[in-house]
């Protein structure tokens, strides 16, 4: 019997997909895993048996999803239309990939599968970037099984695996050799991962994430970025901006103007002389400082959607993180002070939406732990970090800001680690009054140790944090 005859049922499905303009994954799995594989197949998918292989066609499915569905099974995947247009081409492509995969160790295959699901194909669907960028529940699950983690990563200087560590809090899986490892086998880990039901949980997360974003769009009018802040953000980076031009923009808004003058004349800045125009404030404080101040005051409006008491606490925290980020940035190799301030100020923007909607938020009293983020994800499908990134994108803020917000708890995900690490550390510092390494992400700790920048002592950190908290309080009292 020829290949084409056996593949005929899949070809029929492919014709349908082609006429609908959809996609289809062809997955080739060794026959000895066929029973397991059939258990993970959905009713709409078609499977055919060859001598040595099971070939499954997954309707309207991209590679990442197909990979997650057959997590931990050896497989080769080819996707219509990217990898080929004919069923036979797709089959041979998938078979070739299986042969390549077949030679790699089991553990690496598992991580490859997991890694696939985090690199979302957001070209087709821009929102999936916010929904599937991280799977906190799975990371929390790994962190809760340090013995198995150590086994998985044992003896692997493999950079392909080390990224897992970057996502975990400092101290997980890297605390030296453990004798317990000897009791763990590959089968134990397979059973553990299977029992966690990765695919089902991923599907639930995606569904909830989509709903959360959809519901946000229904209340989006409550969260519009005041137009003046758009203008102010537009001014950032214009180093030659004249004080008069800048003052002209701000003075269009009398409420903003009077608030700025109040703060400028408060104990926060400690000037003895009365400053009575925005232009004068710009001359004395500089463009950046006045832009930051105006932006903070303008953005404060969105806090009116939540209870005043919670809003006050959150606002104080955000201002402290903004100022601490500005101070810490240069030590971490990031010098755009404007951006440090904005990302610091907005880092927990997503929490405002969650609070407004009555969703669970983690880490109000301390920096959000992996469990807190997983809790948010279980409730909303995404964490406050992704929610914040999504809002910033809807506001058309620069990509660096969107990325900074998204990665403030997992800096290794960031395009610019120096910015993300800075805000991450500023957050810990704001909450703890010092840098408690147990509350810091592993990647941030390695970033710190690899960076040969000037060191800051714990005393200096605590002192600066205390000082900024005091100064921010004076702004809030104004």
Of the two residues 93 and 348, which places its CB atom closer to Fe ion in the complex?
348
Considering beta carbons, is residue 165 or 430 the nearer one to Fe ion?
A: 430
- Encoded tokens for 80: 């219509």
- Interacting span for Fe ion (CB under 5 A) from 18-26, 260-268, 279-287, 422-430: 422-430
In this structure, is the dihedral angle defined by the CA atoms of residues 432, 136, 106 and 193, taken in order, positive or negative? Answer: positive
Where helices occur in 85-145 by DSSP H, the ranges are: 87-102, 106-118, 128-131, 136-143
Q: What is d(CA 219, CA 234) in angstroms, rounded to the nearest whole number?
A: 25
Applying CB under 5 A, what is the total number of residues that bind Fe ion? 2
Give least dist CB 405 to Fe ion, A: 9
Q: How far apart are CA 56 and CA 297, in angstroms?
A: 57
Q: How far is the CB of 355 from Fe ion (least distance, A)?
A: 13
In the sheet that 53-59 helps form, which strands lie side by side, from edge to edge? 46-49, 53-59, 24-30, 76-80
The Cα–Cα gap between 443 and 435 comes to: 15
Nearest by Cα to 9 from 30, 29, 31, 24:
24
Residue nearest to Fe ion (CB): 427
For residue 364, the minimal CB distance to Fe ion (Å) is 9
Least separation in angstroms between residue 234's CB and Fe ion is 26
- Range in contact with Fe ion (rule: CB under 5 A) among 43-51, 305-313, 424-432, 436-444: 424-432
| Shortest spacing between CB 417 and Fe ion, in angstroms | 17
* Nearer to Fe ion among residue 348 and residue 386 (C-beta): 348
In the complex, least distance from residue 142 CB atom to Fe ion, rounded to whole angstroms: 21
Helix (H) or strand (E) holding 71: none
Q: Least distance in Å: CB of 321 to Fe ion?
A: 6
Q: Is 386 in the site for Fe ion (CB under 5 A)?
A: no
Stretch that binds Fe ion, among 99-107, 179-187, 375-383, 426-434 (CB under 5 A): 426-434
Minimum distance of Fe ion from residue 296's CB (angstroms): 16
Q: Pick one of 427, 428, 442, 443: the residue that binds Fe ion (CB under 5 A).
A: 427
Closest-CA residue to 77 (of 88, 67, 87, 89)? 67
Give CA–CA dist 117/177, Å, rounded: 30
State in angstroms the smallest separation of the CB of 68 from Fe ion.
27
Instruction: Write the DSSP string, 149-177.
Output: HHHHHTT---HHHHHHHHTSBTTSS-S--
Stretches 55-63, 119-127, 268-276, 420-428: which one binds Fe ion (CB under 5 A)? 420-428
Nearer to Fe ion, 22 or 466 (CB): 466
b/e map 116-125, b = 16+ CB within 10 Å:
bbbebbeeee
Q: Are 225 and 299 in contact, with CB atoms under 8 Å apart?
A: yes
* Residue 310 CB, nearest approach to Fe ion (Å): 13
- Angle 399-406/384-394 helices, nearest 10 degrees? 170
357 phi and psi, to 5 degrees?
Answer: -90, 0
Residue 373 CB, nearest approach to Fe ion (Å): 8
The residues in 338-377 that bind Fe ion, with binding defined as CB under 5 A, are: 348
Query: What would the two tokens of residue 235 be?
Result: 């001014």
Considering only the stretches 22-30, 187-195, 233-241, 419-427, report the one whose residues sit in contact with Fe ion under the rule CB under 5 A.
419-427
Query: At CA 220, angle to CA 123 and CA 253, rounded to 5?
Result: 115
Q: Give the separation between CA 239 and CA 261, rounded to whole angstroms.
A: 22
Nearest to 249 by CA among 270, 264, 228: 228
Nearest CA to 31 among 10, 51, 56, 13? 51
Contact set with Fe ion (CB under 5 A): 348, 427
């Amino acid at each position: 019997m020829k290949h084409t005859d056996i593949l005929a049922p899949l070809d029929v499905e492919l014709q349908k997909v082609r006429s609908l303009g959809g996609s289809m994954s062809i997955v080739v799995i060794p026959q000895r895993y066929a029973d397991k594989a059939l258990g993970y197949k959905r009713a709409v998918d078609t499977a055919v048996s060859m001598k040595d292989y099971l070939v499954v066609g997954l309707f309207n499915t991209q590679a990442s999803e197909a990979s997650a569905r057959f997590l931990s099974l050896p497989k080769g995947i080819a996707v219509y239309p990217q990898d080929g247009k004919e069923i036979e081409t797709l089959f041979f492509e998938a078979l070739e990939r299986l042969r390549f995969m077949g030679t790699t160790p089991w553990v690496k295959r598992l991580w490859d599968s997991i890694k696939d699901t985090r690199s979302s194909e957001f070209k087709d669907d821009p929102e999936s970037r916010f929904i599937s960028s991280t799977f906190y529940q799975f990371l929390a699950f790994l962190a809760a099984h340090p013995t198995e983690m150590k086994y998985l990563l044992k003896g692997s200087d493999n950079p392909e695996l080390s990224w897992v560590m970057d996502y975990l809090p400092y101290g997980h899986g890297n605390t030296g050799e453990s004798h317990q490892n000897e009791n763990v086998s590959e089968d134990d880990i397979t059973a553990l991962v299977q029992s966690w039901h990765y695919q089902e949980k991923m599907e639930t997360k995606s569904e909830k994430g989509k709903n959360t974003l959809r519901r946000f769009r229904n209340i989006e009018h409550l969260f519009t970025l005041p137009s003046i802040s758009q203008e102010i953000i537009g001014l950032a980076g214009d180093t030659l901006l004249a004080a008069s031009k800048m003052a002209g923009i701000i003075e269009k808004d009398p409420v903003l103007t009077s608030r700025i003058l109040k703060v400028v004349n408060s104990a926060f800045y400690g000037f003895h002389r009365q400053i009575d125009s925005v232009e004068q404030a710009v001359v004395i404080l500089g463009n950046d400082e006045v832009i930051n101040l105006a932006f903070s005051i303008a953005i404060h409006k969105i806090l009116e959607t939540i209870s005043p008491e919670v809003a006050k606490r959150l606002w104080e925290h955000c201002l402290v993180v903004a100022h601490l980020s500005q101070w810490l940035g240069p030590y971490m190799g990031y010098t755009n002070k404007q951006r440090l301030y904005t990302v610091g100020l907005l880092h927990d923007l997503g929490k405002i939406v969650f609070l407004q909607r009555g969703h669970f938020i983690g880490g109000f009293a301390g920096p959000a732990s992996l469990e807190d983020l997983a809790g948010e994800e279980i409730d909303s499908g995404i964490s406050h970090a992704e929610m914040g990134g999504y809002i910033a994108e809807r506001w058309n803020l620069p990509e660096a800001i969107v990325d900074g917000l998204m990665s403030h708890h997992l800096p290794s995900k960031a395009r610019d680690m120096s910015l993300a690490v800075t805000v991450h550390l500023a957050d810990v510092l704001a909450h703890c009054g010092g840098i408690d390494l147990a509350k810091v992400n592993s990647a941030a700790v390695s970033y710190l140790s690899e960076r040969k920048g000037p060191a800051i002592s714990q005393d200096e950190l605590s002192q600066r944090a205390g000082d900024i908290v005091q100064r921010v309080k004076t702004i809030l009292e104004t």
